[in-house]
């Protein structure tokens, strides 16, 4: 049995805590909000057993990785830089980069900005979203919310300076509600749509009956609660607060497509599809070598944990095409 190990690794700009296992071609697994490296535990074990060096960092501001104090130190340029630095710190020239949720957004941008360091890319739950020349994201989101007539998109609410305070006040309740509201096992009437009614907070709009999803054990949940109790939610929400700054910093990427082999996986009951589905439908226009677009039935947002075996299988099939590795039977190879 392969047991992933944890260590701290110093990159150029950040001390990062990583969870890793295996030897072979490097595969980086980037988590989203509100997650940690441990969200990839099943995939780390599966990829390591198949002959890959699977590495999942706690991302900037999360868990055991350092959290910069300044909001503007959480831009997409910093996040891509963290990944490129990690590749180099792990003594590799390039990697396959896989991301979920915010981690998917980072993975797509890594492929755009540093194609020399990213041999292939996979996104889970959040499709590639090209830069829109017409204006910054928060203005577009406000217009989207107005058209939907269902309140504010939660990302708009996250722009407030104190948006993290409600979560910091009770991390266990915040995490339980968010995991439940975006899970595929939650009844449709109780799932979040991503939109928040006026005079209601994000957490206030999620029912008090929220329970842990079927895939989340009490001990696994305790690890999340302990990590967010220590590090808080301000850093993770600063990622959202940099969206307009990201837009202003990335004009040089306008119109650029991703040419590396790519893969997209989502759940048919992922609430993200309510507000990002239009991008999902257009990905073939921007991903010139899209090898697969998989929609898993009865799955919600936390797809690599909800459907661990399916996601691991799809990733391994993709890796077999884009990052061939020595046979695990090769003399001297250790998995």
Catalytic residue set: 101, 301
Q: Please work out, in degrees rounded to the nearest 5, the angle formed at the alpha carbon of residue 87 by the alpha carbons of 82 and 90.
A: 120
User: Is residue 231 within 8 Å of 268, Cβ to Cβ?
Assistant: no
Instruction: Find the Cα–Cα–Cα–Cα dihedral 146, 137, 128, 88, rounded to 10°.
Output: -150
| Phi and psi at residue 298, to the nearest 5° | 60, 25
Residue 323 neighbours by CB under 8 Å, 6+ apart: 25, 27, 52, 96, 119, 120
Helix (H) or strand (E) holding 293: strand 290-296
CA distances from 265 to 118, 304, 311 (A): 19, 9, 8
Record the tokens describing residue 249, joined without a space.
């910093």
CA distance 57 to 19: 6
CA distance 123 to 99: 5
CA distance 323 to 256: 24
Instruction: Find the Cα–Cα–Cα–Cα dihedral 36, 280, 79, 163, rounded to 10°.
Output: -70
Residue in 13, 29, 3, 11 with CA at minimum distance from that of residue 91: 11
Residue in 143, 164, 165, 163 with CA at minimum distance from that of residue 153: 143
> What is the CA 21 to chain-centroid distance, rounded?
20
Q: HEC profile for 176-233?
A: HHHHHHCCCCCCCCCCCCCEECCCCCCCCCCCCCCCCCCCCCHHHHHHHHHHHHHHCC
């Amino acid at each position: 049995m392969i047991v992933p190990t944890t260590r701290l690794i110093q990159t150029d700009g950040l001390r990062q805590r990583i969870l890793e296992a295996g030897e072979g071609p490097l595969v980086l697994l980037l988590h989203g909000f509100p997650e940690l490296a441990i969200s990839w535990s099943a995939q780390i074990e599966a990829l390591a057993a198949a002959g890959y060096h699977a590495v999942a960092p706690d991302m900037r501001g999360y868990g055991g990785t350092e959290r910069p104090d300044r909001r503007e130190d959480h831009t997409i340029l910093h996040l891509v830089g963290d990944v490129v630095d990690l590749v180099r710190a792990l003594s590799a020239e390039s990697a396959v980069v896989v991301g979920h949720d915010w981690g998917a957004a980072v993975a797509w941008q890594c492929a755009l900005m540093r194609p020399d360091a990213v041999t292939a890319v996979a996104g889970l739950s959040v499709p590639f979203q090209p830069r829109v020349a017409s204006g910054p994201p928060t203005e577009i989101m406000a217009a989207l919310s107005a058209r939907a007539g269902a309140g504010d998109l939660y990302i708009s609410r996250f722009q407030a300076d104190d948006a993290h305070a409600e979560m910091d006040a009770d991390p266990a309740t915040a995490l339980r509600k968010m995991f439940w509201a975006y899970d595929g096992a939650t009844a449709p009437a109780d799932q979040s749509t991503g939109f928040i009614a006026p005079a209601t907070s994000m957490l206030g709009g999620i029912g008090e009956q929220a329970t842990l999803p079927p895939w989340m054990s009490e001990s696994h949940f305790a690890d999340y609660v302990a990590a967010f109790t220590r590090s808080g939610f301000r850093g993770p929400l600063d990622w959202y607060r940099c969206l307009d700054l990201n837009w202003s910093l990335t004009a040089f990427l306008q119109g650029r497509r991703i040419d590396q082999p790519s893969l997209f996986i989502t759940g048919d009951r992922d609430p993200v599809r309510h507000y990002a589905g239009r991008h999902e439908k257009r990905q073939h226009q921007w991903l010139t070598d899209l090898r697969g677009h998989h929609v898993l039935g009865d799955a919600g947002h936390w797809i690599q944990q909800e459907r661990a075996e399916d996601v691991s299988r799809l990733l391994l099939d993709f890796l077999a095409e884009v990052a061939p590795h020595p046979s695990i039977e090769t003399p001297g190879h250790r998995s």
